[in-house]
Amino acid sequence: MIDIEKNGHILELYIKTNEVNSLGRDFFHKLSTTMEEAEKDRSVKAILLSGRNDKFFSNGFNPEIFVGKSLDEIKSVLHDALSACGKVLFSSKPVVCAMNGHSMGVGAVLAIFSDYRILVEKKGRLGFPESLIGINFPSTAGYILKELVGIKTARDLLYSGKGLKADEAIEVGLVEESATPEELIPKARKWCEQFKNMAIESVIGVKVSLRDSQRLVAESLDKRDIELLSAAIATQNGQEGMKSILEKRRPVFH
């Protein structure tokens, strides 16, 4: 599910789940434990997050974890998923996300929860298609997105569900830079290089200072995010949206 490599002070994590790198419960459990271990390792000063796939960084949730499931089952899965994503957002080590392909849904949330983002040219799109499949968007992720691009751009991205090309994502401030497939990981490692000779106390201290105000927001919204998102997924329209992904067709909402 996750290929893990240690490269000096950099912990490199590569998503490797299926042909579209969709994410299920086992992935989130692995991500959670990996991030916890990275927190304890003082030799890790930066985390590089990417994917093992020619086309997808991550296409979002695997719909199979939601289709036909009860509300309580959906809540349980979302608790694990949002908890794991929160460990990326509030990691005390800077996270560089190198998107090797399409980054959608919760895959895009992992990207915006990182500290730096690079999107591959031509082959990659970054977007939040929740409105296209009949569900809502977590408020914590919405807050982070608004901080990155402003409320008007965040509004347009979320209501339209549009996936942005690399140059468009750079223009709105969603990513730092683009890269060819060959340049992607070297560029990501270069962003990580700035932390190599810093004292670990400085690395952690600066990261905490940048995230603590967001932590207060997230803690007040976590329970509500799970309640609202699980309720939306459990509805007739939410189930139709998930089925449409599996069946590779457009959803028909009621």
pLDDT at 134: 96
Q: How far apart are CA 4 and CA 65, in angstroms?
A: 24
For the chain, what's the residue count? 254
pLDDT at 37: 97
Q: Which amino acid, 197?
A: N
Complete domains list, the chain, with CATH:
2-185 (3.90.226.10)
Low-confidence residues of the chain: pLDDT under 50 = none
CB–CB of 44/11 below 8 Å?
yes
How does pLDDT run across 47-61, given as a tens digit for each residue? Answer: 999 999 889 999 999
pLDDT at 123: 86
- The string over 61-72, giving b where at least 16 C-beta atoms fall within 10 Å of a residue's C-beta and e elsewhere, is bbbebbbebeee
Residue from 231, 253, 229 nearest 241 by CA? 253
pLDDT at 146: 98
